């Protein structure tokens, strides 16, 4: 491909556009999560059947993620993201329409498949914008996802409190988010493949580098999933706190993650991805140790807060490193995303299984060990520390760094 010159103002505008898409993606997740009890009642499924159905989004995402690269190659990055984010936002209505277990599983499979493809496409574009700006933005983009999820959750909580039908709620949310997502895509980078560029395979194993980077993401997402689903239970059962204080612990953990992601880019720019993840691993390990040894709620809540701070920027940096690790960024990002989705799927049940066999304290010993893995294996994110084009003038042109 010949050198393509981009106006810096357009690249900055593309950054905000991608950030808006991240927020829309998160808002869909938040909108769905708050109405799961309604969906369960409407489909008439038991808790065990619901657990089975909730495995299908991750399954759908894992199957569909490798397709994102070929879709972007065929239609161009902007059109691909526009179509995929629309499919994802519209898929929000499907689970609430399901009348039984079979249709719920099918709906959640499609829901997860569209989520995964949109996830890969928007992360790939985020890495491209980061390359052109010459500074870290991926942590902030994922912070916008968290902010969108909080907004979607707040709206869903209000809808549930008012007793609204989830079919109506999700239809209105889907239309609103589709309009916002498609509109934001108008300003993302319109990347096109070179005339002689071979299309990526529809299905292929991710490169070895993506597997190593994904292993780091696995550790972080395992800790995140364990903390989100089990922090309140830990405080209530292990430390015998009130339900309100236990819930506040989960809220605090989520808030520290969101704030750390929004502020994380400055730290990455100053210290680089490897050193940032090593220090993050130290914080997360310290947080895990405080949780394990705590006999007071305040100590455990401090531990969960440190754990949230420690793991917050790891997954964004894994996506950034994957996007720079080889000749096929979409395939590498899809590989990392598949591993992290899998981690998020198995973490809650793994923690529960270990707790049933031993105790929750032992379960969080595993979380602490995996957190220390961030310190040991941070070096695989060296791709995130490669030299990037540096720009300073507001009217500077940014060259395309790809060959």
Residue 323 is predicted with a pLDDT of 86
Tell whether the model's pLDDT for residue 324 goes beyond 90. no
Confidence of residue 5 (pLDDT cuts 50, 70, 90): low
Using alpha carbons, select from 75, 85, 72 the residue that is nearest to residue 333: 72
Residue identified by tokens 């130290």 is 282
DSSP character at residue 135: S
The string of pLDDT tens digits covering residues 23-53 is 999 999 889 988 888 999 999 998 778 878 8
The string of pLDDT tens digits covering residues 265-321 is 999 999 999 999 999 999 999 999 999 999 999 999 999 999 999 999 999 999 999
Q: What is the mean pLDDT of residues 341-357?
A: 84
| Secondary structure of 142-169 in HEC code, one letter for each residue | HHHHHHHHHHHHHHHHHHHHCCCCHHHH
Residue 149 is predicted with a pLDDT of 85
Q: Which residues contact 218 (CB under 8 A, 6 or more apart)?
A: 339, 340, 342, 343, 370
State what percent of residues in the chain have pLDDT above 90: 53
Residue 387 is predicted with a pLDDT of 45
DSSP character at residue 100: S
Average pLDDT value over all residues in the chain: 87
Confidence of residue 201 (pLDDT cuts 50, 70, 90): low
Using alpha carbons only, what angle is made at residue 33 by residues 27 and 38, rounded to the nearest 5 degrees? 125
Tell whether the model's pLDDT for residue 329 goes beyond 50. yes
Residue identified by tokens 């689903």 is 229
Using alpha carbons, select from 243, 188, 237 the residue that is nearest to residue 363: 237
Radius of gyration (C-alpha) of the chain in whole angstroms: 21
Q: Identify the residue with better confidence: 156 or 349.
A: 156
For the whole prediction, is pTM greater than 0.85? no
Residue 208 is predicted with a pLDDT of 77
Q: Identify the residue with better confidence: 21 or 7.
A: 21
Q: Determine whether 242 is exposed, middle or buried from the number of CB atoms within 10 Å of its CB (0-12, 13-18, 19+).
A: exposed
The string of pLDDT tens digits covering residues 81-121 is 999 999 999 999 999 999 999 999 999 999 999 999 999 99
DSSP character at residue 236: I
3-class state of residue 44 by DSSP:
coil
The whole-angstrom separation of Cα 114 and Cα 403 is 30
Residue 399 is predicted with a pLDDT of 47
Residue 327 is predicted with a pLDDT of 65
* Cα within 13 Å of Cα(94), Cβ side: 22
Residue 361 is predicted with a pLDDT of 93
Using alpha carbons, select from 121, 131, 125, 132 the residue that is nearest to residue 5: 132
Using alpha carbons only, what angle is made at residue 324 by residues 88 and 274, rounded to the nearest 5 degrees? 105
Q: Which residues contact 297 (CB under 8 A, 6 or more apart)?
A: 235, 239, 241, 245, 249
Q: What is the mean pLDDT of residues 317-344?
A: 84
């Amino acid at each position: 491909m010949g050198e393509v010159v981009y106006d810096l103002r357009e690249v900055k505008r593309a950054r905000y556009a991608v950030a808006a898409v991240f927020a829309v993606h998160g808002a869909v997740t938040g909108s769905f999560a708050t109405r799961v009890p309604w969906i369960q009642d409407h489909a008439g499924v038991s808790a065990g059947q619901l657990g089975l159905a909730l495995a299908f989004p991750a399954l759908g995402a894992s199957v569909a993620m490798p397709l994102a690269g070929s879709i972007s190659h065929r239609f161009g990055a902007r059109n691909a993201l526009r179509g995929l984010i629309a499919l994802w936002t519209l898929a929000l209505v499907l689970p609430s329409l399901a009348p039984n277990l079979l249709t719920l599983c099918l709906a959640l499979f499609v829901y997860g498949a569209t989520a995964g493809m949109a996830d890969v496409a928007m992360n790939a574009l985020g890495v491209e914008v980061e390359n052109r700006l010459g500074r870290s933005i991926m942590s902030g983009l994922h912070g916008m996802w968290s902010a969108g999820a909080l907004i979607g959750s707040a709206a869903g909580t209000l809808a549930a409190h008012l007793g609204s039908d989830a079919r109506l709620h999700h239809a209105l949310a889907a239309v609103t988010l589709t309009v916002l997502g498609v509109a934001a895509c108008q300003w993302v980078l319109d990347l096109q493949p070179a005339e002689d560029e071979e299309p990526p395979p529809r299905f292929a194993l991710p490169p070895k580098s993506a597997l190593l980077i994904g292993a780091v993401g696995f550790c972080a997402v395992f800790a995140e999933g364990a903390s989100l689903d089990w922090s309140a239970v830990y405080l209530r059962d292990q430390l015998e706190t009130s339900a309100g204080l236990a819930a506040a612990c989960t809220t605090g953990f989520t808030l520290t993650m969101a704030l750390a992601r929004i502020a994380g880019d400055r730290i990455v720019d100053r210290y680089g991805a490897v050193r940032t993840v090593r220090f993050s691993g130290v914080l997360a390990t310290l947080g895990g140790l405080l949780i394990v040894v705590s006999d007071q709620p305040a100590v455990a809540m401090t531990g969960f807060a440190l754990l949230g701070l420690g793991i917050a920027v790891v997954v964004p940096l894994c996506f950034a490193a994957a996007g720079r690790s080889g000749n096929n960024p979409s395939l590498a990002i899809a590989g990392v995303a598949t591993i992290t989705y899998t981690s998020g799927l198995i973490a809650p049940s793994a923690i529960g299984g270990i707790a049933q066999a031993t105790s929750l304290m032992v379960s969080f010993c595993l979380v602490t060990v995996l957190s220390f893995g961030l310190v040991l294996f941070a070096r695989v994110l060296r791709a995130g520390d490669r030299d990037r084009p540096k720009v300073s003038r507001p009217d500077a042109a940014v060259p395309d760094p790809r060959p």
